Amino acid sequence: MGRDMESQLAHVSVETGTEQENLPKENKKKNNGLGVNETIKFGSHGTQETNKEAGKKVPVSSLRKDAVDDWPAPKQIHSFYIVRYRRFEDQKLKAKFDLAEKELQKMNKARSQVIEKLKAIRAERSKLIDQRKSVSAENQEFWAVIGEKRKEMEPLQDALGKLRGPRKAGREGGPSLCSSEEELDDLIKSLQYRIQHESIPLTEEKQILREIKRLEGTRGEVRDHMAMRAQIQDSIGEKETIQKQVKAISGNLDGVRKEQQVVKAKLKQLDDQLDANTSQIKLLDEELKEITMKRDTAFAHVLELRKHREEGNAPFYQNNALLQKAKLLADKKDVEALKELSLTEVDKFISLWSGSKPFRDDYERRILTSLDIRQLSRDGRMRNPNEKPLVLPAAQTVSQSEIVERTNTKPLKEESAPPAQKVQKEKNNKQPKEASNKVTESTTKKYIFDIEEEIHGLEKQPKDMTSKKEVDEAKLREMKREEEIAKNKKAMERKNKLAEKAAAKAAIKAQKEAERKLKEIILIILPFLSCFTS
């Protein structure tokens, strides 16, 4: 058998060669006496080998004895095991983290809305400031025109005042000067006539004499005033012409002031709008500060929860770093270092597992999700149908602000619709809701069926879970139905109140219209009644 195997492997391994070389060893021993160049006959074919073929013979030592030499050596695979730490998701912490992130997103949204409002109000304020600048420049032009008109009127008014005749004591009162020397002489003569021809007491006579003496003292001033009047009349004109000029200038000034009043009204309106904008900006700034403080506290809370989560998953990150190190050693094909690393880590894990109960509890808590996904129990066996899942789903936590917003929302569309249409809408809304519930139930059933087909050896989920889900869905539907009924009642009450108000307004309006028509009829009939009475 051994010889036959050797001859077959040798025959397979060599593709080209002579029949002499491929003969068995027994045949070679028998044919030693025949010579090298002698031919060997197989059967009755009687063929002869030529000398050329004899010259091409290869020594037997160069041939491979075994076909295994041509096959590649199998790769040697080394297997090492390192304990893997899984990420732990604390459901309570996750719920708190999700709630904190929702609050943070809400604060960011509110802050962005306030910032947008501030941008819009500040843009409007800048436009108002530009408008006010142009209007104030126009107002300054009016003031310049008014100043020029006043400068034109001042010399004319001074001339009129001088032409009226100055008072000796000025604005404080007292006797005025005479306008001319003839008037002064006439006044003195009249006083002298009283002294000469009238019987007056001595005190009054002395007083008249003092008055005559005073008038004689004003003669020089009267002459100066007459000279000044003559000069004014020569330079400016007569009193009537000056008064006409003053009246024309004052008329122009009144027109300018009227136009200025329009500009001042615009300025006042713009100032009021600017004041309103500044007050809005102050309020929004305060609101922005408050929202920013709330956002900062929410962000700090998120960071604190994130830090707490990362601290809880510190072994997971350390294990990831260790696995990366093992991959690098495997890429380098450093078998000894990888073996040493695996042994040290396994020994470390075993020592911690056997010596620390908190470590065991933490590791078991980390692998619960993996066991639950594979429908396994805590000890690794297949879960029974009546056993509860290892990881219960976390209940959704809703923030207080979302609850308040949901309760404060008003069904505006339902208020405008009549009750018959509302009932029809409720029926139409229930149909797609039931259809969507059926679709979701069918999809969940398909998903459960697919999982059961993929995982071999798993039984169907218990019916208690599905019954609980159906009960919860029924409760939710009942709660939604009650909420919709309450909303519809409120909408109907609002609609009735609005209808009552509209009816009262229509009655008052009709009464006023009837009174107005009655007054018109009375006014029309009154002339005819007066004619009949006359």
pLDDT tens sequence across 410-421: 444 444 444 444
Query: How confident is the model over 420-443, as a mean pLDDT?
Result: 46
Q: Mind listing the pLDDT tens digit for each residue in 166-191?
A: 554 444 445 566 767 777 788 888 88
- pLDDT band of residue 244 (cuts 50, 70, 90) is confident
Which span out of 1-15, 199-213, 240-254, 290-304 was modeled with the highest average pLDDT?
290-304
Which of 178-182, 201-205, 430-434, 476-480 has the weakest average pLDDT? 430-434
pLDDT above 90 for 206:
no
pLDDT above 80 for 203:
yes
Query: How confident is the model over 469-479, as a mean pLDDT?
Result: 75
Instruction: Please report the pLDDT score of residue 172 as a whole number.
Output: 44
C-alpha 99/C-alpha 94 separation (Å) is: 8
Instruction: Please report the pLDDT score of residue 469 as a whole number.
Output: 57
**Cβ–Cβ < 8 Å for 422, 414:** yes
C-alpha 162/C-alpha 215 separation (Å) is: 19
- pLDDT band of residue 363 (cuts 50, 70, 90) is confident
**Cβ–Cβ < 8 Å for 132, 270:** yes
Instruction: Please report the pLDDT score of residue 45 as a whole number.
Output: 46
- Show me where the domains of the chain are located: 2-70, 91-177+218-308
- pLDDT band of residue 3 (cuts 50, 70, 90) is very low
**66 vs 221, which has greater pLDDT?**
221
**335 vs 154, which has greater pLDDT?**
335
**Cβ–Cβ < 8 Å for 113, 325:** no
Q: Where does 239-313 have alpha helices with state H? A: 239-312
Which of 223-232, 321-330, 365-374 has the weakest average pLDDT? 223-232
Which of 124-133, 208-217, 250-259, 462-471 has the weakest average pLDDT? 462-471
Long-range contacts of the stretch 485-493 (C-beta < 8 A, 24+): 487/411, 487/414, 488/411, 488/414, 488/419, 488/422, 491/411, 491/414, 491/415, 491/422, 492/419
Q: Mind listing the pLDDT tens digit for each residue in 122-141?
A: 999 999 999 989 888 888 88
Q: Which CATH class is domain 91-177+218-308?
A: mainly alpha
pLDDT above 70 for 42:
no
**Cβ–Cβ < 8 Å for 409, 483:** no
- pLDDT band of residue 527 (cuts 50, 70, 90) is low
Which of 38-47, 63-72, 251-260, 280-289 has the weakest average pLDDT? 38-47
Query: How confident is the model over 299-313, as a mean pLDDT?
Result: 89
